[in-house]
Amino acid sequence: MRQPSAVTEASENPKRPGQLLSLKLAAYSGYSLRMGISYHPDIGEVLWCDYSGIEPEMVKRRLCVVITPRASQRPRLTTVVPISATPPEVVRPWHVKLDRDPLPEGLAQEVWVKCDMVSAVSFDRLGGYYKRWNRERRYRKLAVSMPELIAIREAVGAALGLNYTPPVGRAILDPETS
């Protein structure tokens, strides 16, 4: 009996209906299953990230935005937020709609950054965008615009409650009452 291919299984899997599309997009957009970058990415750079976690964590490959600059105390780690072509059910302060799809093909109508899903990831989980040309990989650096990066960083703060002000008289950490 012939074993079904991964693409066949993905297209027939009712629990993951978008998996086939993501496999096609990955093949079309120069994504490699062999990942890992050897440099510290720039802040605002868009890369592929292998989120191979445990459900209910994110468990697929998707584009992400680097939100932190190089930190010498964190070698081979960077902080990212994922990009999604699926709009949120309810738009919250931690969702940022990008002006355009960061991929050169621009296949998605809407592209959202989900800033409540902050992750510190190893460079081994990250991969750059490339196209094949004469049997060689031609890498191209993708990035969000500066206004988008500022909005993303503010949205991360909103997701983490960093710009939250408690109501008057209800301080969270009051040294006199602790």
160 Rama sector, left if φ>0, alpha if ψ -120 to 50, beta otherwise: alpha
Render the burial of 133-154: b for 16+ CB within 10 Å, e for the rest: eeeeeeeeebbbeeebbebbbb
Q: Is the pLDDT of residue 13 over 70?
A: no
Q: Average pLDDT in the 109-127 region?
A: 93
Band (pLDDT 50/70/90 cuts) for residue 5 is: very low
Band (pLDDT 50/70/90 cuts) for residue 53 is: confident
Q: Is the pLDDT of residue 36 over 80?
A: yes
- Among 29-43, 82-96, 100-114, which range has the highest average pLDDT? 82-96
**In the chain, where the domains are located:** 6-159
What's the fold here for domain 6-159? SH3 type barrels. (2.30.30)
Q: C-alpha distances in angstroms, 13 versus 19, 25, 57, 64, 141? A: 8, 17, 19, 25, 34
Q: The pTM is what? A: 0.71
